[in-house]
Chain A
Amino acid sequence: MQIIEAKNLNKTFKMGDLDIEVLKDINLSIESGEFVSIMGPSGSGKSTLLYLIGGLDKPTSGSVKIKGNELSEMKDKEQSIMRRRDIGFVFQFYNLIPNLSVEENVILPVLLDGKKLKDYRSRLDDILEVVGLADRRTHTPRELSGGQQQRVAIARALVNEPDIILADEPIGNLDTKTGTEIMQLLQRINREKKKTIVQVTHSKEAADYGNRIINVRDGKVWG
């Protein structure tokens, strides 16, 4: 089943009078359960593509379908709900809420979805177990290392049991050893939990954890 589909996707940024064409006629489709790595040099438009897929930005033209639903036809509220339930984001800079504890950060998407916290106690325990942070649940992000913070972000992306996880350079800010651990974690999540994962990376090593590589260069998809 095609879970993500992009057709004739274009993205142009306006810089004053200058138009910068970042993505040109991108076509791509990702099957459910895949672990795809989008690769390319810095500035090639990988992040832009990922954010368009996640609905964090709007394309200049073209369409993105998530689970068969056209993003541009959704209202803000529907898109938000989709982001809560169907997609989990992981960013290079973790982007945790600094004044909330680990478990509060993880449970945020549940809160946003208007669900009762107490129904999610056991799932929270499971997820913290999976990412290996069960003993850090009351700490705040400042008290954690980079790798630990990224685990919190991954836990947060998982909490609503979305089908898709979008990760933008998830180990870009980590040392090799920690990076490897995080990649292994993502790989495990892909295999055991059957999550579709799309990651952006500029490193071949990281890309190899996935089972397919999409090369982006000069705003176009190669291979």
Chain B
Amino acid sequence: MSVILKFTIRNIKEKKFRTFLILFSIMISSALFFASGAMSGSVAQMMVDRMRSSVGASEIVIHANEKSPSGYMTTSAAEAFGEDMDFIVGNVFGQGIYKADSKEIFKIDLNGYVFSELQMMNPVALEAEYKLHPFSGKKIILSSATAEKLKLAPGDSMDLKINDVRHRFVISGIAQPKGVFLEDGRTNNAVVPRETLAALFNAKGRVSAIHMKPKDMSRKQELIDSLSKAYGRYTVSETIPEEDIRRGADAFNVPFMMMVVMVLVISVFIIYTSFRVITTEMLPVIGTFRSIGATKRMTDLVLLTESIAYGVAGGALGCILGIGVLKIMMNMMLIESDRAAGFTAAVQYDWTQMLAAFILAVALSVVSSIIPIIRVSRISVKDIVLNKIESIKKKKRFRLWLGLILLASVIIAPRTAPRNAAIPVDMLCLVLASISVTLLIPYITGWFIKLFEGIYTYVFGNEGILAAKNLRENKSVLNNISLLSMGISALLIINTISFSVSKEVGNAYRALDYDIEFWAPGLDRQKLMLTEKIDGVADAYGNYQAYNTELAGSKDSISCIIGAEPNKFDEYFDMGIVGDKESLIKELGRDRNIIISNGLKEKFGVDMGDSIKLRTKRGDRPYKIIGFCETIMYNGQIAIVSDKYLKSDMQMKYYNDMLVKTSKPPEVVSENIKKYFGNQDIYIRTMEEMEKSNNESNKALFSIFRIFSIMAMVIGVFGILNNFAISFMERKRSLAMFRSMGMSKGQIIKMIFIEALSGGIVGGAVGVFSGVVNISIVPYVLRAIDLPIPIHYSAVLMAFSLAGGVAVTLIASVSPALKSSRLNIIEAVKYE
């Protein structure tokens, strides 16, 4: 027993590359599994942290909604719950305009608090103060960043225009940029005494929001319900809807899990092929031991121990690497404004995730090695000792059929699976596709050879014939082709997804055909006409949009409904309306008609001519579906109705924003518009700025995708190198035979390269094919997570994959080719 173990350990030590490869693939698999599993938790935590910074310890919040009689309320009803709460904090919001000496205008977000209450809820860390207490009257606390930007110091006075009236405040404190003062470089936050601010808005004794924290967190929901009764016409809710955020973030890791599945498939293949060799090497030793009385269980156990050891070591390393990968990924998720705000990425995971990754590693190793182990275990001692292990293998027809059936189900299943089962079904399909490819590869290679045999003989001569024979018959050559095709299809999937997403993101803005959008208070028809007169404005469009409109009688909602102005809509938006665009848009204006996105069509399960009931301010209104559009704006959760009906049903007074086409450079026109609207609050962006900020937030995602694809590629390439080394060992004897019969070194090298070339072509082509099959599944997954991105098949990408496959095999065969030409013929020929 201990001798077998010793032999095993010696083997592990000697075969450094193989050991490394097995450990590496287990490690990468479990690391990526861990990272993508913990990712959604960390992303959610990041979102929660972002929100927490402004509300501190608040758990319950009360604020006004559209139905509320006023934007303000009193805290008296909440005070009745004082016994149950750690704190009850009322605050008032407002905005002030500050005009610097340079005439530059800054918007200041004013937060009115009772200072002691704020300290309870979301403590302020002061860097400097000037007559701060008592915190009343016209005192103001700025963040250090804002103070620096505005060149203001404690004791300075600061004139703010609030509600069009100028007020002089005194800088009474400078705070560290934390909590309420966390800024992203664009916003400027300030804290002023609550009563002072309330008075300026004629809301003395009232507040715009009430924050509370229950003493007993388990009673949170109960308290929310009671408070809702007390504040009937206001919204009482959890301050941070953590559950919702976490659920939202869960969808986020689906694409990553898909990639993990691909990486796992490659790893299984590598470990499986390695263990075939390991068990074959061990065979004589096992035979000897079994012949002198070791039981089957004992010898199996030794092999299993080796496999478990790989799993444990790889799993442990994988967990460590996983934390690193997660950290890197989360750092990439930070957008510029996070960095400006000094926000760091929290890496969040728990021990169960770590344990899961570890168990996955062990399971991966054991499952992948179990078949070779069982195979060896089944061979009788007699056969081992007599060296009769090579049983006669008939070509198994059932493999062909199984492969074809799997392929067919991989194509059919995702298209017929119900929406809520889409993700597991599609993941399974990714795995089945790889199995199907492995089963079919020998046949496909055979067909390929048959097709090209004539050409081979013609181009490569008799070495071509020999190579063709090897390609058809040699198991390890076939394994190489399978592995190559898996690697290529994985890479193709990953790259196609990121290619498509980036292309679609670009396209999203191509759907918007204007140069500037801006918002200012009270945008109406008159302001629209005035805007059109501004220098450089060619045309302007008043845009109505309603957000998160619920469907009557269901939990579904529509992220965004656009109210289209029938005459101009087409000039400003290209929403991918299917069919006769113009007449459909005209049709919208005639009645309560609606065009919905294909994403919604599928989600709601509706069709042309159906009616959907929208929950509007004026009650539930039925809209008749007259058409569909294909877009990824608002993740494709979008609908179009006419501006007339949207405006009246939703009781909209003002445009959501104004869209402008310019006849002069947009930056210039943007300045003109700002000037025209004077000191008013105006939020304006040129198309270029919009694209830039969008690209930035997507860049993170792409970078992470890239990490995954590089890891998959590294594993794939290593696997192919390993397989070439294995196949060389297995073929040593045959190659020596060829040599003894007079095959020259040149001929051997030529033969190996022809094999590699054709293997590369077949593997590459099959890889591209199975990649395309797998990619065709992807839209169903994306749709299941409400991200209906059309997939763009890139011929260039496919050509690159094919060429890459050929290149990898050619490179991988350099070492075996050289080795075989230096082969010691006698060594290989002499002994059985």
A residues neighboring B (CB under 8 Å): 47, 51, 54, 56-57, 76-77, 79-85, 87, 89, 91, 93, 95-100, 104, 108-109, 111-115, 117, 140, 142-143, 156
A51 touches B826 (CB 8 A): yes
B742 touches A113 (CB 8 A): yes
Q: A111-B462, A142-B392 are in contact. Are A83 and B826 (CB under 8 A)?
A: no
Q: Say which residue of B469, B747, B831 sits within 8 Å of A104 (CB atoms).
A: B469
CA distance A49 to B826 in the complex (A): 12
Please give the distance in Å from A88's CB to the nearest CB on chain B.
8
CA distance A141 to B584 in the complex (A): 75
> Using Cβ atoms and an 8 Å threshold, which residues of chain A touch B795?
none
CA distance A89 to B829 in the complex (A): 11
25 CB contacts below 8 A, A to B, read A54-B740, A56-B825, A77-B745, A77-B746, A80-B744, A80-B747, A82-B742, A87-B742, A89-B740, A91-B829, A91-B830, A95-B737, A95-B740, A97-B734, A97-B737, A99-B469, A108-B466, A108-B738, A111-B466, A112-B462, A112-B738, A112-B743, A115-B462, A117-B465, A142-B392
Please give the distance in Å from B641's CB to the nearest CB on chain A.
70
CA distance A115 to B392 in the complex (A): 31
Describe A's contact surface by its main secondary structure: helix
Describe B's contact surface by its main secondary structure: helix
Residue of B nearest to A75 (CB): B744
B741 touches A109 (CB 8 A): yes
CA distance A99 to B392 in the complex (A): 10
CA distance A89 to B742 in the complex (A): 10
Please give the distance in Å from B822's CB to the nearest CB on chain A.
11
Q: Interface size (B, Cβ < 8 Å)?
A: 30
A85 touches B474 (CB 8 A): no
Contact of B832 with A by CB under 8 A = yes
Contact of B139 with A by CB under 8 A = no
CA distance A113 to B831 in the complex (A): 27
B830 touches A84 (CB 8 A): no
Please give the distance in Å from B391's CB to the nearest CB on chain A.
8
B392 touches A143 (CB 8 A): yes
> Using Cβ atoms and an 8 Å threshold, which residues of chain B touch A114?
461-462
Please give the distance in Å from A57's CB to the nearest CB on chain B.
6
Interface centre among B742, B745, B746 (most CB of A within 10 A): B742
A83 touches B825 (CB 8 A): no
Contact of B206 with A by CB under 8 A = no
Q: A47-B830, A99-B474, A142-B392 are in contact. Are A80 and B469 (CB under 8 A)?
A: no
> Using Cβ atoms and an 8 Å threshold, which residues of chain A touch B737?
95-97
> Using Cβ atoms and an 8 Å threshold, which residues of chain B touch A81?
742, 744
CA distance A100 to B738 in the complex (A): 13
A80 touches B743 (CB 8 A): yes
Please give the distance in Å from A193's CB to the nearest CB on chain B.
19
Q: A95-B733, A111-B466 are in contact. Are A142 and B740 (CB under 8 A)?
A: no
Contact of B225 with A by CB under 8 A = no
Q: A95-B829, A97-B734 are in contact. Are A111 and B465 (CB under 8 A)?
A: yes
Q: A104-B469, A114-B461 are in contact. Are A93 and B743 (CB under 8 A)?
A: no
CA distance A96 to B738 in the complex (A): 10
> Using Cβ atoms and an 8 Å threshold, which residues of chain B touch A97?
734, 737-738
CA distance A57 to B828 in the complex (A): 12
Q: Say which residue of A84, A99, A104, A142 sits within 8 Å of B741 (CB atoms).
A: A84
A83 touches B742 (CB 8 A): yes
CA distance A91 to B737 in the complex (A): 10
Residue of A nearest to B735 (CB): A97
B742 touches A112 (CB 8 A): yes
> Using Cβ atoms and an 8 Å threshold, which residues of chain B touch A111?
462, 465-466
A112 touches B741 (CB 8 A): yes
Q: A56-B825, A97-B734, A99-B473 are in contact. Are A83 and B392 (CB under 8 A)?
A: no
**CB-CB nearest 8 A-B residue pairs:** A84-B742, A83-B742, A80-B744, A99-B473, A111-B462, A77-B744, A80-B742, A56-B825
Interface centre among A77, A85, A99, A109 (most CB of B within 10 A): A99
Chain B 365-397 near chain A by CB (<8 Å), digits 1 or 0: 000000000000000000000000010100000
Q: Say which residue of B392, B741, B744 sits within 8 Å of A76 (CB atoms).
A: B744
> Using Cβ atoms and an 8 Å threshold, which residues of chain A touch B739?
56, 80
B390 touches A142 (CB 8 A): yes
- Please provide the chain B residues from 468 to 519 with a CB less than 8 Å away from any CB of chain A in the complex: 469-470, 473-474
- Please provide the chain B residues from 813 to 832 with a CB less than 8 Å away from any CB of chain A in the complex: 825-826, 829-832
Please give the distance in Å from A113's CB to the nearest CB on chain B.
7
